[in-house]
Amino acid sequence: MTLELPIYMDNNATTQMDPRVLDAMLPYFTKVYGNAASRTHRYGWEAEAAVEDAREVLAQFLGAESGKEIVFTSGATESNNLALKGAAEYYKSKGNHIITTVIEHKAVLDSCKRLEKEGFEVTYLPVDPQGRVNPEDVRAAITDKTILVSVMLANNEVGTIQPIKEIGKITREKGVLFHVDAVQGVGKTPFNVQEMNVDLASVTAHKIYGPKGVGLLYVRRKRPRVRLAAQMDGGGHERGNRSGTLNVSSIVGFARAAEIMMAEGAEENIRLISLRERLHRSISERLEEVVLNGHPEHRLSGNLNLSFSFVEGEGLMMAIKDVAVSSGSACTSASLEPSYVLRSMGLDDELAHSSIRFGLGRFNTEEEVDFVADLMVDKVQRLRDMSPLFEMYKSGIDLKSIEWAGH
Ligand SMILES: *Cc1c(COP(=O)(O)O)cnc(C)c1O
What is the length of the chain? Answer: 407
**Which atom of ligand 1 is closest in space to residue 74's alpha carbon?**
7
d(CA 81, CA 285): 43
**CB 245 within 8 Å of CB 329:** no
pLDDT score of 397: 87
CA of 185 to the centre of ligand 1 (A): 11
> Which active-site residues does the annotation give?
331
CA of 217 to the centre of ligand 1 (A): 12
pLDDT score of 399: 78
**CB 305 within 8 Å of CB 293:** yes
pLDDT score of 406: 59
**Which atom of ligand 1 is closest in space to residue 14's alpha carbon?**
1
pTM for this one? 0.96
pLDDT score of 361: 98
**Which atom of ligand 1 is closest in space to residue 80's alpha carbon?**
10
Question: How many Å is the Cα radius of gyration of the chain?
Answer: 23
What residues line ligand 1, using a CB cutoff of 6 Å? 75-77, 105, 107, 152, 156, 181, 183-184, 204, 207, 215
Question: Which of 17, 73, 105 most suits a substitution to test ligand 1, by most atoms within 8 Å of the C-beta?
Answer: 105
CA of 157 to the centre of ligand 1 (A): 11
**Which atom of ligand 1 is closest in space to residue 13's alpha carbon?**
1
Closest residue by CA, ligand 1 atom 5: 76
Domains in the chain: ranges and CATH = 7-13+265-387 (3.90.1150.10), 19-260 (3.40.640.10)
**CB 121 within 8 Å of CB 148:** no
* pLDDT tens across the length of the chain (407 residues): 689 999 999 999 999 999 999 999 999 999 999 999 999 999 999 999 999 999 999 999 999 999 999 999 999 999 999 999 999 999 999 999 999 999 999 999 999 999 999 999 999 999 999 999 999 999 999 999 999 999 999 999 999 999 999 999 999 999 999 999 999 999 999 999 999 999 999 999 999 999 999 999 999 999 999 999 999 999 999 999 999 999 999 999 999 999 999 999 999 999 999 999 999 999 999 999 999 999 999 999 999 999 999 998 889 999 999 999 998 633 445 557 889 999 999 999 889 999 999 999 999 999 999 999 999 999 999 999 999 999 999 999 887 777 767 55
3-class SS string, the chain:
CCCCCCEECECCCCCCCCHHHHHHHCHHHHCCCCCCCCCCCHHHHHHHHHHHHHHHHHHHHHCCCCHHHEEEECCHHHHHHHHHHHHHHHCCCCCCEEEEECCCCHHHHHHHHHHHHCCCEEEEECCCCCCCCCHHHHHHHCCCCEEEEECCCECCCCCEECCHHHHHHHHHHHCCEEEEECCCCECCECCCCCCCCCCEEEEEHHHCCCCCCCEEEEECCCCCCCCCCCCCCCCCCHHHCCCCCCCHHHHHHHHHHHHHHHHHHHHHHHHHHHHHHHHHHHHHCCCCCEEEECCCCCECCCEEEEEECCCCHHHHHHHCCCEECECCCCCCCCCCCCCHHHHHCCCCHHHHHCEEEEECCCCCCHHHHHHHHHHHHHHHHHHHHCCHHHHHHHCCCCHHHCCCCCC
Closest residue by CA, ligand 1 atom 9: 77
CA of 305 to the centre of ligand 1 (A): 18
Question: Which of 77, 162, 206 most suits a substitution to test ligand 1, by most atoms within 8 Å of the C-beta?
Answer: 77
